[in-house]
Amino acid sequence: MTILVTGATGNVGSHLVRHLLDLGEAVRCLTRDPAKASFPEGAEVVEGDLSDPSTLPPALEGVTRAHLITFAGDDYTPIPNGESLVTQFTKAGVSRVTMLKGDVDATPIETAVAESSLEWTTLAPVEFMANMLEWVDGVQEGRVEEGFVDVPSTVVHESDIASVAAHVLVGGGYAGETLWITGPQALTVRERVEIIQEATGKHVDLVALSPEEVQAQWRSYGFSDDDIAYMTQMKTEPPMAARVPQDTVRTVTGREPLTFREWATENRTTFVAR
C-alpha cells in the first residue's frame, strides 16, 4: 500500500510524511519542484501538481490512499478541478482519502470527493500554532502588534493535525466525517505572548490593535471586503471548536495533543536568533 501525500512540503504535509513513515507505510510525496524539496529518508518524491491533472498519472501509480490539500499557490486559491481529480484518483485505485479543509465553504475538491465512491474524512483544524511565527520579528524587537488580543483560540500543533491524518489513512474508521482538530487549551493572544516570553526569556510588549486597524491591514494585504468580513466574524464570533478544546487528537491517535508551551519551546531558537 502506497500513500500519496499532497502538499508534502507544507506545515501539515511535512509532519504527515514523518508520521506515516513511523507507522511503517510506503509514502510518496507530491511536489511541484522536487529539486527544492527535502524529505526524510525512505520517502519517495514525485513531481506533480493537483491543479494540473495531466501531471498526476505517474504519481498515482500503485497508490491506494491519499492525503489531499484543497487549495494551492501562495494565495491559497481553492483548487478548481475537483471532478477530474476524483476521476483520476478512483481510476488509479485510490480508495481512501483525507482532506485538509481550508475554508468554511466546501471547495470543489471537497464537493467532488463527497459525491464520489471514495472513503473520505475531512480534517478541520482551528488556528495553526505555526501562525505565531509571524511574530518572530516582533519578538526579536520586543514589540508585537496584534488585534483581538482577548479572543481565545484552541491553537493546534501541525504535528497533531498530521498525526490524526496518518491514523485515519492507515486505520480508517471515520468515513464521511469532518473532524475538528484543536489543541488542548483555548489561549488568547495575551496568553500566547506570555508563554513565548517564558520560553525565550525575552520581554515583549503587546500592542493591542483596534478591529479597524486590523481590517485596514488586511485590506492592505489585498483581501476583499468579503474576506475581511469573514475573518472579522471568525475573530469576534469564533466557532465552538475555536473556543472549546475537542478530544479528536486523543480519540484518534491515543495520545494527548501537544501544548502551545511545547510548540514555543520547540521554536525558541527561531524566536531568539537573528
In which band, very low, low, confident or very high, does the pLDDT at 73 lie, cut at 50, 70 and 90? Answer: low
Mean pLDDT, rounded, for 240-251: 95
pLDDT, tens digit, 9 for 90 and up, residues 74-90: 666 788 888 999 999 99
Asked whether 229 and 223 are in contact (CB, 8 A), the reply is no
Mean pLDDT, rounded, for 193-207: 97
Vertex 271, ends 270 and 274: CA angle to 5°? 75
In which band, very low, low, confident or very high, does the pLDDT at 153 lie, cut at 50, 70 and 90? Answer: very high
Mean pLDDT, rounded, for 41-64: 92
At residue 74, the pLDDT reads 60
For the ranges 22-31, 75-84, 142-151, 252-261, the lowest mean pLDDT is seen at 75-84
Q: Is the pLDDT of residue 116 over 90?
A: yes
In which band, very low, low, confident or very high, does the pLDDT at 196 lie, cut at 50, 70 and 90? Answer: very high
Q: Is the pLDDT of residue 130 over 90?
A: yes
At residue 181, the pLDDT reads 97
- The domains of the chain, with CATH numbers, are 2-125 (3.40.50.720), 126-157+182-244+257-273 (3.40.50.720)
At residue 115, the pLDDT reads 94
Mean pLDDT, rounded, for 167-194: 97
Report the candidate in 68, 74, 75 with the shortest Cα–Cα distance to residue 108.
Answer: 68
The more confidently predicted of residues 204 and 236 is 204
Report residue 189 as a C-alpha cell.
Answer: 493572544
